[in-house]
Structure 1
Amino acid sequence: MPIRGGLPPRNPRFVGREELLAHMRGLLGNGPVVLLPSADHQLGGTGRTQLAVEYAYRYADTYDLVWWIPAEQTAGMRAALVGLAQELKLPEARDINRTLGAVRDALSRGEPFRNWLVVFENANRPEDIKPYLPSGAGHVLVTSRNPRWTSEVAQAMPVPVFDRTDSVDFLRRRAPELVATDAERLAVHLDDVPMALDQAAAVRAAAGWSIDEYLRRYDERAAELAFPTPIRVAWGLAADALAEASPAAFELLQLSAFLASAPVSWELLWAARGLASPELARTLRIERRLKAAIRLIGRYGLADLDPPGAGLIVHPLVRGMLGQQLTSERHAAMLRTVRAMLAAADPGDPDNPAHWPRYAAIVPHLVHSDALGGDSEEIRQLVINCVRFLYARGDYDSSRDLAAQAAARWTDSLGETDEQTMLVSFHLANALRAVGRTADARALNAQTLRSQRDVLGGDDETTLATANSVGADLRMQGHFNQARQLDADNLVRYRRLFGESFPTALRCANNLAADLRLLGDFRGARALDEQVLRQRQMIFVEGHPETLSSRAGLAFDLFGLGDYAGASALLAGSGHFDALGADHPMALWAGRFAAMAARRAGKADARERAAVNVELYRQKFGDLSVDTLAAVVSLANCARDAGDYDEAHRLLERAVARYHAVLGDEHPFTLAAACDLAGVVRATGRFVEARTIDDEALRGLRRSVGRDHPFTLSCANGFAADLIAVGEAQPAREIALDTLNRSRSLRGADHPDTLACAFNVALDDGDESSMRAAIEELAKVYGDGHPVPERALAGRRLETEIELPPL
């Protein structure tokens, strides 16, 4: 049996279509096929979806995998593809686009399944699904109402109405007592249109009408319409019959005019129980009444039911006809009800994964209900929460698109200084940063923060949230001291307003610790991280991501202070990161920091651990992520320590080029990576080239982070080695001595890098006594047999390579 996902139930009353199914089978061997309405029924109703479902079941045994993807809206399509990624055992990237690309590539390669069928249902915008269409030996089937499909994307296959024999068979399968002549009379009236035939059969069975009664009503209804069509007339009869049988059920159906074709669960409809008319409210109040009304709508052929019968799927044509039937007043009233219903279904806390299924059920209906045009704060807050949900789930593009639409609409209707306009702008900036548009995010955040401070004041919670985001922008720009000043001010405000143990206050303290770490103040960062970790352990369950964030940050602090054993022990304790999964951001941080500590401790497996970490980062974030690049730098340092200078040079050269592209030429991380590159170049004997790289990097670091920053001191130590190698002994001695003094002041006399600088000064001076003293201290720090004191014993100059903290 093939693996199946999302496939609708098979229609037990499917008839005919044998030639179409055979033709479709043949076309799929040549590439993707798109099923379209026939030219004389452009609005649909000819049975495209049912044909696709039947094909999937009929030929299922020829496939290893059959996956059904609702594609009417991008967010729903992406969610279904993420489900397919899980089935394919693909790692889920934080950016959902990387996951979707991995799905496409795995299917195209035929790994792990060579024969597969993927069906995109209601894909009405070819440009939306084109990036996700796989190639290879599998088959892609699309259903669509849009005729703008080119042969380059998919082969068009129009789906006509039934032939007369199939119409008769279809009607008699629905009603076995129906004689062939009566079935043919009905088929003639309905022009063999499958959707009209289905509605006629359903309403006859539900209402108990004879053929003559139905045809009489049909002719009367057709005479009332200016442009009667089989679907419009048949639908009208079914709608009238349902309204007569159950006004509440019909009103429930009318609500669907403002919802999408995605399944509408009874839980979502239940949220309207305090908002609807008295007649409908009585039905909605009790679950069994609501489910009975849903089943009644299905009996009259006006909606498909989820397999359990607990939700509605309303055809786009039915939705359209329902909307056209409403008066302007009724339309406005029902639209208000639907919007209020969606707002009432909002579970809140969109960062909580337990709430994501509810948000996934709500998001498809935002467009059709025009929730962005809602006139209440609750509805606008729902939109904001959906923006955040999409971001938290990793669908940054959908989050950005929804936030951008909301920001534009609300700026026009409410003004750019409205509280919710500013809040959705904050979320838009987050999404922009996540998709790589850092300059746009920075500009929007700065503008939003100015407006919030003017309108809401500096102590408003949303103002503080935006200020935190601006701090992230400053860190990304390399303005570490400005970020520290802003985050320190934010922390004072948070603690005054909420107390120091409030979760958002702890996040702000965590950000301030990150600033201090980036500034090289590892003592200050350690004190703050220890405090935040204790408080998070008291308020969060063991294994909470924020607790593990503090643990990882503290580990880097210890590494920066030269306590490599302490960093390793903190990261290895009790498997704290295991529950998150190997590719969770906190687990990735822990993996890199552990590899760094293992390298400094001289462990043989450091390089292997760093290589695994880099691959996980690439899968999760891509090659241009600053986190991936930092992991590459750590791997390069491992390769250099192992004497593999060619690999270290390759890794660092690429990392430096990408840092230039992502962060800019003057960013401290770009310059720091260049210093590490110079160290590899120096190790291969290209001293003039290394001197040029170090000279430029050192000047840049002195400008950006100052002379006393660890990055600058490490670069200066390398530059002194360059100068010695090219015969500039006097300036080399001056720089080396200045670096040693600054390192003692900043890091302490017993820090491993200070001891390395002390040895280098003694080596340059030929001071045997000072060299022996430095070697003894290095042996105490690293232990006997460690490569660093061994190199010193061999009379080789010591490097102080740079490891990059998280931004």
Structure 2
Amino acid sequence: MPIRGGLPPRNPRFIGREGLLADVRGLLGTGPVVLLPAAEHQLGGTGRTQLAVEYAHRYAATYDLVWWIPAEQTAGMRAALVGLASELRLPEARDINRTLGAVRDALSRGEPYRNWLVVFENANRPEDIKPYLPSGAGHVLVTSRNPRWTSEVAQAVPVPVFDRTDSVDFLRRRSPELSAAEAERLAEGLDDVPMALDQAAAVRVATGWSVDEYLRRYQRRAAELAFPTPIRVAWGLAADALAETSPAAFQLLELCAFLASAPVSWELLWAARGVVPPELARTVRIERRLKAALRLTGRYGLAELDPPGDNVLVHPLVRGMLGQQLSSERHAALLRSVRAMLAAADPGDPDNPAHWPRYAAIVPHLVHSDVLGADAEEIRQLVINCIRFLYARGDWDSSRDLAAQAVARWRDSLGETDEQTLLASFHLANALRAVGRTADARSLNAQTLRSQREVLGGDDETTLATANSVGADLRIQGHFGQARQLDADNLVRYRRLFGESFPTALRCANNLAVDLRLLGDFRGARALDEQVLRHRQMIFVEGHPETLSSRAGLAFDLVGLGDYAGASALLANGYADALGADHPMALWAGRFAAIAARRRGLPQARELAAANAELYRQKFGDLNVETLGALVSLANCARADGDLDEAHRLLERAVARYHAVLGEEHPFTLAAAADLAGVVRATGRYAEARTIDAEALGGLRRSVGADHPFTLSCANGLAADLLALGEAQQAREIALDTVARSRSLRGAAHPDTLACAFNVALDAGDEPSMQAAAEELQKAYGEGHPLLARALAGGRLETEIEPPPL
């Protein structure tokens, strides 16, 4: 049996279309096929979706995988493709775009399934699905109302109305008591339009009308309309009959005029029980009454229900006709009800994955109900929560688009300094940063923070959230000192307002520890991380992402302080396993464990670093700052193994990508360049290494100062370059200055200070000092460490740089 995802149930009343099905089958072998309405029925109703459903079921046995994707809205389509990624056993990237690209590529390669069918339903904008269309041996089937499909994208197959024989067979299958002559008359009266025939058959069954009675009502209704069409007339008869039988069921159907062509759960409608008019509230507030009313809409052919009856789907044509027949007053009242219903269904806390299914059910309906135009604050808050949900789920493009629409609309209607306009601006900046538009994010955040401080004050919770985001912008720019000042001020405010154990206060403290690490103050970072870890252990279970974040940060602090065994022990508890290997916090822990293992001289360090770098690449992509940090760690492991060619290749790539992402003067770019100089130096190209080191050292002194660990490591390398090139006096001056600064910053017993001291003694030929330094190194590293063997062989010692997380 093939794997089937999202495929609607097979229609037991499907009839005919044998020629069309054969045509589709044949054309799919040469490329994607799009089913379009026939030219004389551009609005649809000719059965395109039912044809696609029948094709998928009829030929399912010839495929390994059949996947149905609702494509009317981009967010829903992308969510369905993420589900397909899971079925294809693809790792889910933090950025959903990477996951979607991986789905397309895996299908195109035929891995793990060669024979597959992917159906995009209601793809009315070819440009929306074109990036996701796979090639390869599988088949792509599309349904659309839009005739603007070019042959380069898909082969168009118009779907006409039934021929008369199929119309008669269809009607008699629905009502076996019909004679062939009666069915012929009914089919002729409705011009063989499948949707009209289906509605007529449903209404006749529900009401008991004879064919004569139905046609008499049909003709009378058609005469009342300026532009009668079979679907419009048949729909009107069905709607009137439902309204007469159950006003409540019809009112529920009217609400659907403001919702999308996506399944609407009874739970979503049930959420409206406190906000709908009194005449509808009696039906909505009791589950069995609500479900019975929904079944009636299906019985009259005005909606489709899934087999359990939990979800109702209203055809776009029905939704359109419902909207057209409303008075302006009725339209406004129903729109208010729908918006209030969606707000009532908001579960809150959009960062909680347990709430994501509810948000996924709400998001498709935001556009059709025009929630951005709502006056009520709680409805605008729903929009903000949906923006955050999309961001948390990794759909940064959709989050950005919704946030940008909200900011634009609310600036016009509420003003630039309205609290919710500013909050939407904050979320827009987050999404912009996530998609790589860091300069735009920085500018928007700065503007938002100024406005929030003026309007809301510096102690407002939303102001503090934006200030934290500005801190992230400063770190990305390499302005670590400014970030520390801002985060320190934020922490004072958070603790004064909420107490030091409040989760957001702990996140702010965590950010300040990040700043201190980036500034090379590992003692300060350690003290803060230990404090945050204790508080998080009190309020979160072990294995919680935030607790693991503190453990990982503390481990990096210990590495910075030279306690490599302590860092390894802190990360050896297995807490990261529960989150999954590609969780961001697990990736942090994995990278730091590899760094600690390399510093301890353990042989498994390179293997750990390689696995970690690949997971980072899959999760975040090649141009992500954290991926580049993992790449540097892997290069340092390759160098420690003596694989200079691989280390050079990795570091050249890291430097180029840091340059593209962060700029040439960012401390991380310069640090990676200093590591690259070390590899160049190891191959004997001292002049080239000197050029790289001199440029990097000048940049580091300007950006982070002469006493930063990055700067000291680079200076240690430059001294080696100069010595090899015969400039012994300048080399000694730099080496002595580096030792003095390292002792002041890191302490005399720090392994990197000892390495620099050993180099000074080696350069001077001072055997007693070399011996003393070697003995101290043995205490720091333990016996048998590769670095000791290098020192005993008279080799100069390197001090590689490991960029911390931003």
TM-score under structure 2 normalisation?
1.00
Q: Where do residues 738-757 of structure 1 align in structure 2 (5 Å cutoff)?
A: 738-757=737-756
SS in 1 for 2:203: helix
Residues 496-520 of structure 1 deviation map (CA, whole Å, 9 limit, x = unaligned): 0000000000000000000000000
> What is the rounded CA distance, in whole Å, between the counterparts of 2:54 and 2:804 in structure 1?
55
Mapped pair 1:139 → 2:139 = yes
Residues 525-544 of structure 1 deviation map (CA, whole Å, 9 limit, x = unaligned): 00000000010010012211
Following superposition, the deviation at residue 275 of structure 1 comes to: 1.2
Letter matched to residue 688 of structure 2: E
> What is the rounded CA distance, in whole Å, between the counterparts of 1:306 and 1:450 in structure 2?
51
**Hey, what does 2:37 align to over in structure 1?**
37
SS in 1 for 2:39: coil
**Hey, what does 1:286 align to over in structure 2?**
286
Mapped pair 1:598 → 2:576 = no
> What is the rounded CA distance, in whole Å, between the counterparts of 2:278 and 2:590 in structure 1?
59
SS in 1 for 2:571: helix
> What is the rounded CA distance, in whole Å, between the counterparts of 1:107 and 1:539 in structure 2?
44
Letter matched to residue 455 of structure 1: V
Following superposition, the deviation at residue 784 of structure 1 comes to: 1.1
Q: Where do residues 311-322 of structure 1 align in structure 2 (5 Å cutoff)?
A: 311-322=311-322
> What is the rounded CA distance, in whole Å, between the counterparts of 2:584 and 2:136 in structure 1?
33
Following superposition, the deviation at residue 277 of structure 1 comes to: 1.5
**Hey, what does 2:220 align to over in structure 1?**
220
Tell me the C-alpha RMSD between the 2 structures. Answer: 0.4
Following superposition, the deviation at residue 307 of structure 1 comes to: 2.2
Kindly tell me the number of residue pairs found equivalent between the two proteins. 806
**Hey, what does 2:783 align to over in structure 1?**
784
**Hey, what does 1:709 align to over in structure 2?**
708
SS in 2 for 1:577: helix
Q: Where do residues 248-287 of structure 1 align in structure 2 (5 Å cutoff)?
A: 248-287=248-287
> What is the rounded CA distance, in whole Å, between the counterparts of 2:178 and 2:590 in structure 1?
71
> What is the rounded CA distance, in whole Å, between the counterparts of 1:536 and 1:386 in structure 2?
27
> What is the rounded CA distance, in whole Å, between the counterparts of 1:587 and 1:601 in structure 2?
21
> What is the rounded CA distance, in whole Å, between the counterparts of 1:510 and 1:676 in structure 2?
28
Following superposition, the deviation at residue 654 of structure 1 comes to: 0.8
Q: Where do residues 129-278 of structure 1 align in structure 2 (5 Å cutoff)?
A: 129-278=129-278
SS in 2 for 1:572: coil
SS in 1 for 2:66: strand
Following superposition, the deviation at residue 64 of structure 1 comes to: 0.2
SS in 2 for 1:271: helix
**Hey, what does 1:457 align to over in structure 2?**
457
SS in 1 for 2:128: helix
> What is the rounded CA distance, in whole Å, between the counterparts of 1:490 and 1:427 in structure 2?
19
> What is the rounded CA distance, in whole Å, between the counterparts of 1:277 and 1:759 in structure 2?
83
> What is the rounded CA distance, in whole Å, between the counterparts of 2:387 and 2:412 in structure 1?
19
> What is the rounded CA distance, in whole Å, between the counterparts of 1:709 and 1:292 in structure 2?
71
> What is the rounded CA distance, in whole Å, between the counterparts of 1:330 and 1:425 in structure 2?
34
**Hey, what does 2:683 align to over in structure 1?**
684
Could you tell me the percent identity over the aligned residues? 87
> What is the rounded CA distance, in whole Å, between the counterparts of 1:188 and 1:730 in structure 2?
104
> What is the rounded CA distance, in whole Å, between the counterparts of 1:462 and 1:672 in structure 2?
35
**Hey, what does 1:295 align to over in structure 2?**
295
Letter matched to residue 384 of structure 2: I
Residues 558-589 of structure 1 deviation map (CA, whole Å, 9 limit, x = unaligned): 0000000000000112x110000000001111
SS in 2 for 1:536: helix
> What is the rounded CA distance, in whole Å, between the counterparts of 2:577 and 2:414 in structure 1?
47
Structure 1 spans left out of the alignment, 5+ residues: none
Residues 453-512 of structure 1 deviation map (CA, whole Å, 9 limit, x = unaligned): 000000000000000000000000000000000000000000000000000000000000
Mapped pair 1:88 → 2:53 = no
**Hey, what does 2:326 align to over in structure 1?**
326
Mapped pair 1:521 → 2:521 = yes
**Hey, what does 1:9 align to over in structure 2?**
9
Mapped pair 1:729 → 2:740 = no
Following superposition, the deviation at residue 110 of structure 1 comes to: 0.2
**Hey, what does 1:21 align to over in structure 2?**
21
Residues 155-188 of structure 1 deviation map (CA, whole Å, 9 limit, x = unaligned): 0000000000000000000001111000010000
Letter matched to residue 291 of structure 1: K
Mapped pair 1:427 → 2:430 = no
SS in 2 for 1:20: helix
> What is the rounded CA distance, in whole Å, between the counterparts of 1:159 and 1:686 in structure 2?
70
Letter matched to residue 609 of structure 1: L
**Hey, what does 1:378 align to over in structure 2?**
378
Mapped pair 1:67 → 2:67 = yes
Q: Where do residues 498-577 of structure 1 align in structure 2 (5 Å cutoff)?
A: 498-573=498-573, 575-577=574-576
SS in 1 for 2:67: strand
**Hey, what does 1:345 align to over in structure 2?**
345
**Hey, what does 1:637 align to over in structure 2?**
636
SS in 2 for 1:272: helix
SS in 1 for 2:108: helix
SS in 2 for 1:799: coil
Mapped pair 1:112 → 2:112 = yes
> What is the rounded CA distance, in whole Å, between the counterparts of 1:94 and 1:675 in structure 2?
30
> What is the rounded CA distance, in whole Å, between the counterparts of 1:161 and 1:615 in structure 2?
53
Following superposition, the deviation at residue 274 of structure 1 comes to: 1.2
> What is the rounded CA distance, in whole Å, between the counterparts of 2:307 and 2:549 in structure 1?
43
**Hey, what does 1:437 align to over in structure 2?**
437
> What is the rounded CA distance, in whole Å, between the counterparts of 1:706 and 1:618 in structure 2?
31
Following superposition, the deviation at residue 310 of structure 1 comes to: 1.6
Letter matched to residue 358 of structure 1: R
> What is the rounded CA distance, in whole Å, between the counterparts of 2:77 and 2:402 in structure 1?
15
Residues 730-758 of structure 1 deviation map (CA, whole Å, 9 limit, x = unaligned): 01000000000000000000000000000
**Hey, what does 2:418 align to over in structure 1?**
418
Letter matched to residue 643 of structure 1: G
Letter matched to residue 264 of structure 1: V
TM-score under structure 1 normalisation?
1.00
**Hey, what does 1:97 align to over in structure 2?**
97
Residues 48-79 of structure 1 deviation map (CA, whole Å, 9 limit, x = unaligned): 00000000000000000000000000000000
**Hey, what does 2:128 align to over in structure 1?**
128
Residues 694-739 of structure 1 deviation map (CA, whole Å, 9 limit, x = unaligned): 0000000000000000000000000000000000000100000000
Letter matched to residue 785 of structure 1: G
**Hey, what does 2:448 align to over in structure 1?**
448
Structure 2 spans left out of the alignment, 5+ residues: none
**Hey, what does 2:76 align to over in structure 1?**
76
**Hey, what does 2:491 align to over in structure 1?**
491
Letter matched to residue 562 of structure 1: G
> What is the rounded CA distance, in whole Å, between the counterparts of 2:201 and 2:144 in structure 1?
25
Deviation >4 Å, runs of 4+: none
Letter matched to residue 656 of structure 1: V
**Hey, what does 2:664 align to over in structure 1?**
665
SS in 2 for 1:805: coil
Letter matched to residue 401 of structure 1: D
**Hey, what does 2:647 align to over in structure 1?**
648
More displaced stretch, 781-790 vs 129-138: 781-790
Letter matched to residue 414 of structure 2: L
**Hey, what does 1:54 align to over in structure 2?**
54
> What is the rounded CA distance, in whole Å, between the counterparts of 1:565 and 1:487 in structure 2?
30
Residues 419-459 of structure 1 deviation map (CA, whole Å, 9 limit, x = unaligned): 00000000000000000000000000000000000000000
> What is the rounded CA distance, in whole Å, between the counterparts of 2:334 and 2:127 in structure 1?
33
Letter matched to residue 629 of structure 1: L
Following superposition, the deviation at residue 794 of structure 1 comes to: 0.4
> What is the rounded CA distance, in whole Å, between the counterparts of 2:545 and 2:334 in structure 1?
42
**Hey, what does 1:617 align to over in structure 2?**
616
